[in-house]
Structure 1
């Protein structure tokens, strides 16, 4: 079975497609913004990459969310809850973590099925 990689960099690819599954690298928003703004920007990037890969929000299987501070859970969820399609909620986990850049507040990792 082939593996398709898009936006390939030295360390990672933004999109990896294997079989009928799409894996996205962690997506973040612009630094210096609120958790709500960073979440909205990260989710907009997720949308863009899913469309490029041949998928959509309705085909998301799993979301992993890392927050710099778990106290931002409610703020992140306000944006996430408005974004995720009703009736198509994926499996999800959220945890507090040190992110690669201290000014990042949230990172979103998505696995989805290809739309057929």
Structure 2
């Protein structure tokens, strides 16, 4: 049976769950009220740090789901994403519009990666 490791757990969720060789990250958000580009960069910086904590990195991402509060921000978010994502190791990705947990958040990034 594969082990399950939980990191940075709280009463509602963990920031990282590792099951076997698969890493699941909770949705990452940026600085509330910052620009879309800054919030995107904040999210991606958090993803880098969390993956590194469990021995993975962005080149090992399998799937990414990005929620935008407004699809009109798609190009601005992609400008940051495209500079960050490792070419040749891009994950499958979906991006959609959703009402996020707090009105000041414009971007949320959810990652599944290999260890």
1:52 aligns with 2:59: no
What's the TM-score once normalised by structure 1's chain length? 0.97
* Distance in 2 of aligned mates of 1:96 and 1:55: 28
* Distance in 1 of aligned mates of 2:109 and 2:59: 16
Give the aligned partner of residue 106 of structure 1. Answer: 107
Please report the RMSD computed on the Cα atoms of aligned residues, expressed in angstroms.
Answer: 0.4
* Distance in 2 of aligned mates of 1:25 and 1:32: 20
Give the aligned partner of residue 12 of structure 1. Answer: 13
Give the aligned partner of residue 22 of structure 2. Answer: 21
In structure 2, the gaps of 5 or more residues are none
SS at match of 1:32: coil
Tell me the number of residue pairs that the alignment of Structure 1 and Structure 2 aligns. Answer: 114
* Distance in 2 of aligned mates of 1:12 and 1:53: 17
> Structure 1 residue 53: deviation in Å?
1.2
SS at match of 1:101: coil
Q: Which runs of 4+ in 1 moved over 2 A?
A: none
What's the TM-score once normalised by structure 2's chain length? 0.98
* Distance in 1 of aligned mates of 2:33 and 2:103: 10
1:81 aligns with 2:82: yes
In structure 1, the gaps of 5 or more residues are none
* Distance in 1 of aligned mates of 2:87 and 2:6: 30
